[in-house]
Structure 1
Amino acid sequence: MTPRILKETLAEWSQEVRVPADLADRALRRRSRLRLTRFAGAVSCAAVVAAVALLVPLVVIPLFTEEPISQVGGPPVVVPVEPYRQTTPAEDVLADTENSPPKTMIAAGRVAVSAYYTGRSRTVAGRKVLDRTWYLLDQATESYEKTEWGWTEVAPGLRWAAVLEKDLPARRIGIFDMETRTVRAWVPVDHPVGGVAWSPDGTRLLATAYDESPDLDMTSVDERRCPARVAATPEDPQEPPFQMISTSRTGFYVVDVATATAGDFHAVDPCWTDNSNVRRDFTWSSDGTLIRERSLSQWPDAFLDLEGRPHDAPDGYVARESKAGVSPDGTLRAGPDGMPTQVTQLSTGEIVGRQQVLQLLAWADDRRLVALGCAGTCGNEFHNGLVLVNVDGEGMVQLSAYRKNSLEAEAWEPVLTLR
């Protein structure tokens, strides 16, 4: 039930309440006890008001309860989540080029800026940590609302969000209702988590667990080292160098959102891939059947099955592909970061267009992409913002104001989600 429908329903119920016409006469029938009757009349009127006020909540309470909703003949259901299905947006392009960070909704085609965050460094127990302030889209007002969450991730369709409380890692995951702006359910976990990601169909969550904050500054972490993945050879018998690893990541959970339950915890060796980032969240493969960890070296990304076992890369995987990936119709592939970017024909590998942008972030439709573009002639690549560009590189439309310096911690970072 949406807030508007709820408001209309409450109004209808209030009109149905009837107060006896002679109630005041009953309370005041003895004029000789004026003082007492005034008191009694006040109490009676207060009782009437209280009765009216109580009548509606007796019916409304179940709408707000966080207790599981029973399903006849089936398992308990906490969240009425449904697999994501693409719909045609009412408005194709929404932009805010006047405000940085944005105040009003930004969207293009099938994607929208569902949330964004700004960062600021703070010191906790003598250690520096990045503290994010999250702003979450409110579709009713087409604006962004400041939150108190430490992490947010919006599901495809913009109906639900997963939230974590401020001090990461957190011991529970909240399922946030984007319409009522309330947490519908909490999912407790034994191993605290620092990041969450929705599956492509919007029915599951991948929660990455950490022993300590995943946002510690590199100067504030304990240095641990892992053996390099390059083994010694007869030609080079020297002991291979060591790579530095600075992460407290311990493993992951796969959460079923409909029942608000976390599955088994799966431990993962932090030395599994070449990556020295402190925050090393797992993500989903494009079809939601595998778990992926991006590598920061020349090695391809690594994959796990949902039980945490190493798995070969899925068919069609391309190392160093852009965030946008393959077009909705499956015919084109967005190229890697770096100006100019390019789009190729999936079947032939032929370049079908080049774009004067820094990164291709998401497909708005089969022939347009949301990208990271830079101001003017791109004299400074960090003076950048969101743009909409055609595959052929023409018809560029500015979607957001250009950030003065995207490297600054306070600069806003957008999160794009299918709508």
Structure 2
Amino acid sequence: MNVEELVREALREQADREPPVPAGFADRVLGVRRRRRARRLASVAAATAAVVAIAVAVPLLDSGHKADVRPSGVLDSGAIRAHPDQSPPRELIGAGDAVLAAYYTAESKQLTKDRGVSARTYWLLDPRSGKYRKDPRWSFVAVAPGLKTAAVLERNLPAHRIGLLDLATGEVERWIPVQHGVGGVAFSYDGTRLVATTYDEDPDLRVREKVHTLDGRAAWMWAARFGRSSRSGFYDLDVSSGTGSFSRVAPDRSSNSRADFAFSRSGGSVYAQYVGGRDGLQQFYDLKGNKIAAPANEKHLRSDVPARLSPSGRLAALGLTKEVAGSPGRSYSSVRDPRTGREITKVRGGHLLAWADDKHLIAWERVTSLEEEYRPRLVLVTIGSDKVVPLSGVQEPAEPTDPRQPWEPVFARR
């Protein structure tokens, strides 16, 4: 059963429990999606992917931006751009509307005998060359939809100004000064606003802890300070003018030291991860900093699954549900109705990162068996299919005592 039939079945079952919807409602909903589909995914030659560095240009669904008059280029194409031999990637990776806009590595650096900081180093996509360039100036980066602008924070956190970086030139076009120090930023879905999370101290501070390696030897490592968040609130800022309001939020002692806010899909509220009864639980706030119930279409989401809602808002990406033993092991995640939480189907991938369109997602998927150490790669997965298209090389794990962590992706919409 394909995704259209699954969605139609879900709507019909809902109709049995609730007042009837207008005749043909499911067909009209799915019809919008059909009209936007121009071309289907083509296959990538696995042998070529394993041997040479490639940039695959395969059509995905049409983006629907018929009035878009920007010059054509690598960022304006919905094609698959894959480099399965590169990890970390050196050249553009993307599919549909999702582009790997940046990635970062983090390294624990000692400040005192028992205190350290997890310092990030970013590689940002140059939209002109389609290559990733190291930019060590920034401690935190968020990329706006369209991949023209990034919000950046300087090295020492909390920062007292937010930079708007032109990704093409690498220069900061404008600074937004803030009275309360900022440790994290995120754009709204339409890219017109920024939520900036404020902290009283660096949210990436670490403490020194003793651990035991597999061979039984004692070693020291740097760990996040659980239950010691200094988060104080957030700014809701207009990107074009730099103006906005600050809302104070009481520190959450049950969360990690970093607990950044992000906008809801509509932009009418913000949410943050709340580590309590179970991982991934989220707490929503109105734009004045008051706790509120989750929006109807986001109450079944998890804050630790970055993909969240599909572009149409009709599907929700949820967490890992099943791992199948084998060589390599296969992992599957749940795709659900965002309003009811009812599972519609499962899709390949253990960690869903971004929607390419309403039928395809980018995910981490392991390449090792369940008995081996976890080693993932970026893949493109398809709802209704068990096939995957490799997008990146394999991410190698860090040693337990290695201060450097594996590279982490930052996705943005074209």
Give runs of aligned pairs for residues 62-211 of structure 1, distance below 5 A: 89-126=76-113, 127-147=115-135, 148-211=137-200
Amino acid at match of 2:352: L
1:297 deviates by 2.2
Q: Compared with structure 1, are the counterparts of its residues 203 and 139 closer, same or farther at alpha carbon in structure 2 (3 Å cutoff)?
A: same
1:129-183 per-residue CA deviation (whole Å, 9 max, x = no partner) reads: 1011011110111011111211111001111100011111111100111222210
For 1:107 and 1:176, the matched residues in 2 are separated by 21
Q: Is the 8 Å Cα contact of residues 162 and 176 (structure 2) preserved in structure 1? A: yes
| Stretch moving more, 177-186 or 377-386 | 377-386
- Which protein is richer in strand relative to its size? 2
How many pairs does the alignment contain?
310
Aligned to 1:397: 389
Q: Compared with structure 1, are the counterparts of its residues 217 and 319 closer, same or farther at alpha carbon in structure 2 (3 Å cutoff)?
A: farther
Aligned to 1:415: 410
1:254 deviates by 1.3
TM-score of the superposed pair, with normalisation by structure 2: 0.69
Aligned to 2:246: 265
Aligned to 2:276: 297
Q: Is the 8 Å Cα contact of residues 84 and 392 (structure 2) preserved in structure 1? A: yes
Is 1:330 equivalent to 2:303 in the alignment? Answer: no
Q: Compared with structure 1, are the counterparts of its residues 352 and 89 closer, same or farther at alpha carbon in structure 2 (3 Å cutoff)?
A: farther
SS at match of 1:128: strand
For 1:244 and 1:214, the matched residues in 2 are separated by 11
- Which protein is richer in helix relative to its size? 1
SS at match of 2:289: coil
| Stretch moving more, 89-98 or 315-324 | 315-324
Give runs of aligned pairs for residues 52-67 of structure 1, distance below 5 A: none
Amino acid at match of 1:141: S
For 1:295 and 1:122, the matched residues in 2 are separated by 27
Unmatched tracts of structure 2, length 5 or more: 1-63, 69-74, 210-224, 322-330
For 1:92 and 1:194, the matched residues in 2 are separated by 34
Amino acid at match of 2:409: P
1:215-236 per-residue CA deviation (whole Å, 9 max, x = no partner) reads: 011449xxxxxxxxxxxxxxxx
| Stretch moving more, 92-101 or 198-207 | 92-101
SS at match of 1:401: strand
Q: Is the 8 Å Cα contact of residues 237 and 245 (structure 2) preserved in structure 1? A: no
Unmatched tracts of structure 1, length 5 or more: 1-84, 221-242
TM-score of the superposed pair, with normalisation by structure 1: 0.68
For 2:191 and 2:385, the matched residues in 1 are separated by 32
For 1:372 and 1:246, the matched residues in 2 are separated by 30
Amino acid at match of 1:382: Y
For 2:297 and 2:78, the matched residues in 1 are separated by 33
1:65-122 per-residue CA deviation (whole Å, 9 max, x = no partner) reads: xxxxxxxxxxxxxxxxxxxx96694241011222221100110110011011011111
Amino acid at match of 1:302: Q
1:264 deviates by 3.1
Q: Name which one, 1 or 2, has greater alpha-carbon Rg.
A: 1
For 2:174 and 2:308, the matched residues in 1 are separated by 33
For 2:360 and 2:398, the matched residues in 1 are separated by 24
Q: Percent identity?
A: 38
SS at match of 1:264: strand
Is 1:256 equivalent to 2:238 in the alignment? Answer: yes
Aligned to 1:288: 267
Q: Compared with structure 1, are the counterparts of its residues 297 and 112 closer, same or farther at alpha carbon in structure 2 (3 Å cutoff)?
A: same
1:274 deviates by 3.7
Amino acid at match of 1:330: G
| Stretch moving more, 109-118 or 299-308 | 299-308
